[in-house]
Amino acid sequence: MMRQETETPPRPLPAQDHAFLEEKAFRSRTVLVFGTITDALAAETVRKLLALDAESTAPITLVVSSPGGHLESGDAIHDVVRFVASPVSMVGTGWVGSAATHLYLGAPRERRFCLPQTRFLIHQPSGGAGGPASDIALQAEQIIKARERIAQVIARESGQPIERVRQDIERDLWMPAEEAVAYGLVSRIVQRRHELGLG
């Protein structure tokens, strides 16, 4: 009878190793956005973008792999990417979904890249409305406004007609890398860092 190997979960990096790797990434003007988009992640990302921008106007690379999360936290990163003087290049990897796609679209199209296995997801926002009927009505109104705002951003940044985008985000629309390029979310698929080729 064969012995079954039991998988041991990966151990978290010791604090000093984590800090060292963060420092190396920061010095290379690379910011990582991994995991669910929360207000804490947005604050950390914005802080790094502002610090790098204060240091110099050399390009910054934002590497994104996230299923999405809090829309307004994604808004904060999206807007600060446009706010800083340093040109920001986005590199999608893994999956870039929902609010993560929104922040990814903060960079101009020519600075939006992805690695070959990346998948993208666009859809309308969702909400868990509860409470008195008047509150539910207000929440529903805000979700409708957010859906239109998202559709406008996707249309503007992809070049797709707004009518098509409104229809596409009615349900989850998954796109592999090649389809995301054809749709206009991504400029180019790259496999090596030097292929970014932007100063």
Nearest to 121 by CA among 38, 37, 52: 37
Q: Is 98 a catalytic residue?
A: yes
**Strand 173-176 to strand 188-189: parallel, antiparallel, or no bridges (unpaired)?**
unpaired
C-alpha 85/C-alpha 135 separation (Å) is 40
- Which of the following is catalytic: 78, 89, 123, 187? 123
**CA atoms within 13 Å, Cβ hemisphere of 195:** 13
- Which of the following is catalytic: 98, 102, 158, 187? 98
* Cβ 107 vs Cβ 90: under 8 Å: yes
The helix or strand, by DSSP H or E, that contains position 34, with its residue range, turns out to be strand 30-34
Catalytic residue IDs:
98, 123
